[in-house]
């Protein structure tokens, strides 16, 4: 927010000039990324307390062709999926319903509209020493995915800035990948017969998410669609938020329990 408003158009600050704010922005993102990487590296098996519930989610709930949308920056879902052996899913980062024959493959579309600690813009990737070209996979024209978190430590990434969107009211989705991801979220939700919103409280800061969801359900109502909508959350007040966004045309089923308890009953 400070970077956006520190200009003559708004309020310029001599105490916090743009170069200083940029350095702080980089430092904060690097610190967040390093902390989240350290959590991921603690996970050695599918029974680890950090991923046991996500492993159960992957094995008992997910089905091939499902779409998972997460606003988290961490890669715990990716780690959990990697630990389920031969039953693991191929993870795709671009939504496409695909032809019928493609539905036979075991895959899940993972959409991360706020970025990820293993995503890097082209300029950051060019500064990283790698052991081979397979370390990074191109997600789009301007963002690469680090593809080696299972094979090597992350320490060579500590001084690089991941492509993550900070939690502010004024979120900027400037990369081609971020913009495409939001389009994919809209397209996936418009085609979905069942929508499960688990643990997400639709905070006021996520104005863009609210905008996209409103458009999804407004257009679904116009087209006469009737997706099943389930909100799983231990906080009862979130139901009002989702009912406001979804509108009167659809009924929201509310599961007033934690993710862990919902998994047990699923």
Q: Which residues contact 100 (CB under 8 A, 6 or more apart)?
A: none
Same domain, 16 and 135: yes
Structure tokens at 198: 């688990």
79 C-beta neighbours (distance < 10 Å), count:
22
Structure tokens at 96: 């496409």
Under 8 Å between Cβ of 58 and 80: yes
Range of the domain at 80: 2-172
Same domain, 159 and 32: yes
Under 8 Å between Cβ of 170 and 4: yes
Residue 179 in domain = no
Last residue of a domain, one of 138, 172, 206: 172
Under 8 Å between Cβ of 163 and 197: no
How many domains does the structure of the chain reveal? Answer: 2
Per-residue model confidence as pLDDT tens for the chain (266 residues): 777 677 766 676 777 788 888 898 899 999 999 999 999 988 989 999 989 999 999 999 999 999 999 999 999 999 999 999 888 999 999 998 765 545 567 899 999 999 999 999 988 988 887 666 678 999 999 999 998 887 777 888 888 899 998 876 666 788 999 999 999 999 999 999 999 999 999 988 888 899 999 999 999 999 999 999 999 999 999 999 999 999 888 999 999 999 999 999 87
Q: What pLDDT score was predicted for residue 15?
A: 75
Helix axis angle for 238-246 and 207-222, nearest 10°, is 50
β-strand partners of 194: 228
Same domain, 160 and 205: no
Cα separation, 182 vs 211, in Å, equals 11
Q: What pLDDT score was predicted for residue 31?
A: 92
């Amino acid at each position: 927010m400070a970077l956006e408003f520190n200009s003559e158009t708004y309020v310029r600050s001599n105490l916090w000039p743009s170069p200083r704010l940029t350095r702080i922005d980089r430092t904060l993102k690097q610190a967040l990324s390093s902390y989240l990487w350290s959590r991921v590296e603690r996970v050695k098996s599918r029974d680890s307390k950090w991923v046991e519930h996500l492993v159960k989610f992957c094995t008992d709930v997910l089905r091939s062709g499902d779409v998972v949308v997460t606003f988290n920056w961490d890669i715990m879902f990716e780690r959990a999926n990697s630990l389920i052996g031969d039953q693991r899913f191929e993870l795709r980062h671009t939504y496409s319903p695909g032809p019928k024959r493609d539905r036979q493959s075991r895959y899940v579309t993972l959409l991360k509209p706020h970025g990820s600690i293993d995503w890097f813009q082209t300029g950051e990737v060019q500064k990283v020493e790698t052991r081979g070209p397979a370390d990074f996979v191109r997600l789009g024209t301007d963002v690469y995915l680090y593809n080696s978190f299972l094979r090597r430590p992350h320490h060579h990434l500590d001084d690089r800035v991941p492509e993550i969107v900070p939690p502010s009211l004024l979120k900027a989705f400037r990369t081609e990948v971020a913009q495409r991801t939001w389009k994919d979220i809209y397209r996936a939700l418009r085609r979905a017969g069942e929508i499960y919103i688990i643990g997400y409280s639709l905070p006021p800061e996520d104005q863009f998410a609210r905008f996209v969801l409103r458009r999804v359900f407004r257009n679904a109502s116009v087209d006469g669609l009737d997706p099943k909508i389930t909100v799983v959350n231990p906080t009862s007040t979130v139901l009002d938020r989702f009912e406001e966004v979804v509108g009167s045309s659809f009924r929201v089923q509310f599961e007033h329990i934690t993710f862990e308890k919902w998994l047990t009953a699923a």
